[in-house]
């Protein structure tokens, strides 16, 4: 994909070659609280393949967590 190459070029220029990404997952949304804060703990757990143990009832849209897990799992299986 061309966009992944572009992202890696920007990362390489701004941060360094060590920070280039291996996999990019385009997700439909992010797990945000009702006040708009992104729940990075949930994203971290998904990236590590861990079970989500945090309470997702406080999220603006709890269904987005399931959607992110599906996208990430499909990227891993390719």
Return all residues near 75 (Cβ < 8 A) that are at least 6 apart.
Answer: 23, 24, 25
Is 13 part of a structural domain of the chain? no
* Residue 77 confidence (pLDDT) above 70: no
pLDDT digits (tens, 9 = 90+) for 34-52: 999 999 999 999 999 999 9
As for how many domains the chain has, the answer is 1
Average pLDDT over residues 45-63: 90
Per-chain mean pLDDT for the chain: 91
Average pLDDT over residues 6-27: 92
Domain housing 48: 25-78
Is 30 part of a structural domain of the chain? yes
pTM: 0.78
The reported pLDDT for the residue numbered 23 is 84
3-state SS class at 63: helix
């Amino acid at each position: 994909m061309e966009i992944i190459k572009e992202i890696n070029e920007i990362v390489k220029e701004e941060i360094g070659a060590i920070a280039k990404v291996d996999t990019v997952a385009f997700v439909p949304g992010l797990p945000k609280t009702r006040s708009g804060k992104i729940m990075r703990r949930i994203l971290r757990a998904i990236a590590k393949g861990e079970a989500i143990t945090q309470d997702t009832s406080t999220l603006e849209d709890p269904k987005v967590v399931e959607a992110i897990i599906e996208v990430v799992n499909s990227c891993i299986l390719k």
